[in-house]
Amino acid sequence: MSNNKEFSSEKSSSVKNVLIIGATGYIGGALCRKFSQTQDFAVLALVRSSSDIEGIKPFCKEIIRSQEVEISSNDVAQAIRNHDITTVINVAWHMPPESTKEAQFAKDRIALEAALHGAKAVSPDIHVITTSGNFSLITANGGQITEIPPPKGYTRPEYLVCLDLLVGVNVLKDGLIEEYISNGGNASIVYPSSVYGSAPTRGSFWDFAIQQFITGKPHQGYQPFPQDFMTAWIHVEDLADCYIAVTRFGSKGGYYLAAPENFSISQVSKMFAQAAQVEFLAPVFENKDKVIFDDSHTKELLQLQWKYKVADEVKGWVERIKELGTYFLE
């Protein structure tokens, strides 16, 4: 257990404690940083016993290591009781990914179920905020995508086959959360769109995928990113604001979509290539399925204003990838 004595003694006693699981990951690190900048929240991180915590140390009131190799519901319950936690946020994702969605789900459900069952063991009032993904909302019918989950048994479009692991695991995890809510649990689901921007811990999935799309070549054993499709994009700082707003709102059974800008993979790749000053002939994207992401309800409900735009941030994004040593464009 690590206690950060330098951490904001200036914050008042009315500050609420938030527990983040997955704090050393890309989104988790950004959440720690953003929560530490608020006046009404302090962040505590629950990490696995082997996790590298250097990147999040400056932002956490306390860093708690799991008692065993994996995080358990007992770890969560103990942290809640010992530190008067009001909200638990799970952004943990097992990395590197397993070869099948069943194997990945078996790994991912460990932290998720620890969060859900640990919170419920202490109090039904503890709010658990979980994380899904915008691809989990896309159906083969296309059209307007909102935070409302599609009906069970819906068909995914063929172009998402390349993301079947990610999508399939999220859908399975969402099922656990729905069951938890239906049994009286206090939980919400945040659906981030494709996330970019600088976090204090590591880079984004899209750092790699966009470069793969531009080169069209295998890199480090990975095949090039597959065909073009429409998605939505959010800067990691804006996404952190969304989690903070959901924490403040605290509505049981809420669904929230964070998807400010609609761009295809090729459209963002073109901006990325221009910022990196590399030649790239972007394909002309036709949005045949008329996919459009609409997060207006989430924005209105949570009183959010998105601050960042891909076009303004892409140069900084490229520079950050170079800093991380994960830049491989020629």
Task: Look up the domain containing 297 and give its range.
Answer: 15-324
Residue 196 lies inside a defined structural domain of this protein? yes
Residues linked to residue 222 through DSSP beta bridges, in sequence order: 219
Positive or negative torsion for Cα 264, 265, 267, 271 = positive
Residue 35 lies inside a defined structural domain of this protein? yes
For residue 213, give both structure tokens: 């799309």
Residue 139 lies inside a defined structural domain of this protein? yes
For residue 61, give both structure tokens: 């009131």
On whether the CB atoms of residues 88 and 73 are closer than 8 A, the answer is: no
**Structural domains in the chain (count):** 1
- Cα separation, 77 vs 84, in Å, equals 10
Domain at 82, CATH number? 3.40.50.720
Nearest CA to 97 out of 85, 107, 111, 109 is that of 107
Q: Are strands 41-47 and 16-21 parallel, antiparallel or unpaired?
A: parallel
Residue 201 lies inside a defined structural domain of this protein? yes
pLDDT of residue 213: 95
Residues 6+ apart with CB under 8 A from 136: 149, 167, 170, 171, 174, 191
For residue 294, give both structure tokens: 């609409």
Residue 1 lies inside a defined structural domain of this protein? no
Residue 9 lies inside a defined structural domain of this protein? no
Give me the tens of pLDDT residue by residue for the chain, a chain 330 residues long.
455 544 444 555 689 999 999 999 999 999 999 999 999 999 999 999 889 999 999 999 999 999 999 999 999 999 999 999 999 999 998 888 888 999 999 999 999 999 999 999 999 999 999 999 888 999 888 889 999 998 888 888 888 887 888 888 999 999 999 999 999 999 999 999 999 999 999 999 999 999 999 999 888 888 777 789 999 999 999 999 999 999 999 788 899 999 999 999 999 999 999 999 999 999 999 998 899 999 999 999 999 999 999 999 999 999 999 999 999 997
Positive or negative torsion for Cα 310, 315, 321, 323 = negative
Residue 298 lies inside a defined structural domain of this protein? yes
Residue 186 lies inside a defined structural domain of this protein? yes
On whether the CB atoms of residues 259 and 293 are closer than 8 A, the answer is: yes
**Where does the chain have alpha helices with state H?**
26-36, 73-83, 101-122, 164-182, 205-215, 236-249, 265-276, 296-302, 310-324
- Cα separation, 111 vs 120, in Å, equals 14
pLDDT of residue 11: 54
